[in-house]
Structure 1
Amino acid sequence: MTNMINAAPALQETDELRADIYALLATMLRKQPEADLLAWLKELESDQDEDTPMARAWSTLALAAKHSEPSQLEDEYTQLFIGVGRGELMPFACWYLTGSLMEKPLAFLREDLEILGFERQENVKEPEDHIAALCEVMSMLIRTGRGYEVQHQFWQKHIQTWAQKFFTDLQSAKTAVFYTAVGLLGHAFMQQEDNWYLQLSPAAREGGKQ
């Protein structure tokens, strides 16, 4: 995805972290982690005093990375999302919402993306409702200073309705090993986002600041 917005305001720490997690999920769901990302994941350290779904997810992801190699991850990603004809999972909103690809949810998404100033890059072949693309959009909405109301509307319309089910399926997929941990992180983060939006005051949501 590309975005037409040029200005990138300073972000609060919470928003920087949210944008980073969306970007990380997008990277791992777009393709298997390369060696440099895998090395970074191996060094992740969570707060040992914190027992939350996110903390457990980070620890699990770091452990999974330590037991993974790039070539192994390429095979795992291919079996999960590409396969022969199709992979074990279909990481598209339309598939989860309608049971088919290229249906009305994609048309509605494209309308909203155009309004927000996003367009698909020429080298991207997957439809815009791929989970990686949606995470990329959320990361850019945050980084470019779109208010919480805009972020929440996009998340509620295009991600909340199906992402939890997708990440649950990813955790239990037969061919998932490393990606079980990715599913755990995605599920915990989507739940955290849900709770975070619920806790925002009306003034914060409208003003874009906590």
Structure 2
Amino acid sequence: MNMINATPALQETDQLRADIYALLATLLRQAPNGDLLEWLASLESDQDEDTPMARGWSTLALAAKHSRPQQLDNEYHHLFIGVGRGELMPFACWYLTGSLMEKPLVLLREDLNRLGFERQPSVKEPEDHIAALCEVMSLLITNGHGYTAQHQFWQQHLQSWATKFFTDLQNADNAVFYTAAGLLGTAFMQQEDNWFLQLSPAARESGQQ
């Protein structure tokens, strides 16, 4: 996705949220390369913190230490591409309707147009791919859209199915490294749900605007 706009400084919490969405988008768009694996393997979690997010980070770091790019290319192919189709279908329409290219995609395209996003010509998948939606959320945060706009997009296009997708990813037969990615994604979606619930109406209106 391309965003036609630009960009105030972010609070630390919002920068972290944007970075996590961007990381999930990268992992779900294609298998991680050696540089990303090396960075993930270097992550150190707080040993005193026992939260779903902390467990997600530590599990992802451990999985990265024991993974190689070629192995992950094969894993990604079996999970998301396959022969005809992969084990999982990472699209909102599939999870919400059981088919591709249905009404949720129409509504998403209307929202993307309203928000000023353009699909990159090199991207072949429909815009309701989980990687694209995570990328949009990251861009909404970094490009200064307020919490109201972020919450509306998340509620409309991610809340109803993303946790189910990440749970399916944890439990997929072909997932090894991606079990850890699913664990982090599930924890993060639950954290986002709680975070939006805890925002006061005034904070939603004032955030990043």
Task: Tell me the TM-score normalised to structure 1 length.
Answer: 0.98
Q: Which residue of 1 aligns with 2:44?
A: 45
Corresponding residue SS for 2:185: helix
Amino acid at match of 1:133: A
The reply to whether residue 13 of structure 1 matches residue 3 of structure 2 is no
Q: Which residue of 1 aligns with 2:29?
A: 30
Q: Which residue of 2 aligns with 1:88?
A: 87
Q: Which residue of 2 aligns with 1:195?
A: 194
Q: Which residue of 2 aligns with 1:77?
A: 76
**CA–CA distance in structure 2, aligned partners of residues 170 and 70 of structure 1:** 19
Q: Which residue of 1 aligns with 2:158?
A: 159
Q: Which residue of 1 aligns with 2:4?
A: 4
Corresponding residue SS for 1:85: coil
**CA–CA distance in structure 1, aligned partners of residues 31 and 108 of structure 2:** 25
Corresponding residue SS for 2:144: coil
> Where does structure 1 differ by over 2 angstroms across 4 or more consecutive aligned residues?
none
**CA–CA distance in structure 2, aligned partners of residues 92 and 208 of structure 1:** 29
Corresponding residue SS for 2:47: coil
Q: Which residue of 1 aligns with 2:111?
A: 112
1:53 Cα deviation from its structure 2 partner: 0.2
Q: Which residue of 1 aligns with 2:144?
A: 145
Corresponding residue SS for 1:84: coil
**CA–CA distance in structure 1, aligned partners of residues 44 and 144 of structure 2:** 29
**CA–CA distance in structure 2, aligned partners of residues 138 and 98 of structure 1:** 22
Q: Percent of aligned pairs with the same residue?
A: 78
**CA–CA distance in structure 2, aligned partners of residues 192 and 48 of structure 1:** 19
In structure 2, runs of 5+ residues without a counterpart are none
1:120 Cα deviation from its structure 2 partner: 0.6
**CA–CA distance in structure 1, aligned partners of residues 52 and 167 of structure 2:** 14
Amino acid at match of 2:97: T
**CA–CA distance in structure 2, aligned partners of residues 135 and 87 of structure 1:** 20
Summarize deviations over 1:89-146 as a string: whole Å, max 9, x none: 0000000000000000000000000000001100000000000000000000000010
Corresponding residue SS for 2:125: coil
1:19 Cα deviation from its structure 2 partner: 0.2
Summarize deviations over 1:3-37 as a string: whole Å, max 9, x none: 111x2100000000000000000000000000000
Summarize deviations over 1:56-94 as a string: whole Å, max 9, x none: 000000000011000000000000000000000000000
Q: Which residue of 1 aligns with 2:178?
A: 179
**CA–CA distance in structure 1, aligned partners of residues 131 and 125 of structure 2:** 10
Amino acid at match of 1:2: N
Corresponding residue SS for 1:122: coil
**CA–CA distance in structure 1, aligned partners of residues 47 and 199 of structure 2:** 28
RMSD over aligned CA atoms reads 0.5
1:198 Cα deviation from its structure 2 partner: 0.5
Amino acid at match of 2:101: M
Amino acid at match of 2:42: E
Amino acid at match of 2:141: I
Q: Which residue of 2 aligns with 1:67?
A: 66
1:208 Cα deviation from its structure 2 partner: 1.0
Q: How many residues align?
A: 208
Amino acid at match of 1:3: M
> Which aligned pairs between 1:119-134 and structure 2 lie closer than 5 A?
119-134=118-133
